[in-house]
A and B are shown apart, each in its own frame.
Chain A
Amino acid sequence: KAGVTQTPRYLIKTRGQQVTLSCSPISGHRSVSWYQQTPGQGLQFLFEYFSETQRNKGNFPGRFSGRQFSNSRSEMNVSTLELGDSALYLCASSLSGPWDTEAFFGQGTRLTVV
């Protein structure tokens, strides 16, 4: 079966701009989680959506937001980009949640803010 697809793979944005990242989960998976990975802070949980509702949220500012559509595809938006937002953004899909025994990650979107 097709895996988790994230688009785009690479992105360069200017400080102050906004960006939208997309995640298409595995067919049938209703949970999509988003993560930020940086060399300094490691992998951090941003938020999780289940059946179009944000169910869990990590400790990130309100500039980070997301949504999930009825087909379970999810988007993540970052407004007013800062240099520190440069990171690999990963999404994962699963049937019931990030703690699921069957959770799959995409390859990520590498965002560079200049």
Chain B
Amino acid sequence: TQLLEQSPQFLSIQEGENLTVYCNSSSVFSSLQWYRQEPGEGPVLLVTVVTGGEVKKLKRLTFQFGDARKDSSLHITAAQPGDTGLYLCAGTSGTYKYIFGTGTRLKVLA
């Protein structure tokens, strides 16, 4: 059973479009992270959110942690080909240690 479900699983969009990726769970997490992974490389940490309702912005990326700390979203504004990659959320809780989401594979076409 996957504890962190991401949607959509795949996304192919044109350069300049906006998109949102979701990370959902029925469990509460004490913190949640988002990573981007490119082929042949390890994941790169984008952000860590720890407070319910928290919103963090990183240039064109906006991250939100749900009020109940069970879900999170990643919004990209004006996507660029350099945003292409596998996006992963990961959550920490006392019970489940450290769990990764199912992943969203994004392709941005020029």
Contacts and interface: CB of A to CB of B under 8 A. Distances in A.
Interface of A: 4, 33, 35, 42-45, 48, 56-58, 90, 92, 98-108
Interface size class, chain B = 20 to 34
A94 B34 CA distance: 16
Contacts of A105: 35, 42-45
Contacts, number: 56
Contacts of A57: 97
Interface in B31-54: 31, 33, 35, 40-45, 48
A99 B98 contact: yes
A42 B97 contact: no
Interface of B: 2, 30-31, 33, 35, 40-45, 48, 88, 90, 92, 97-103
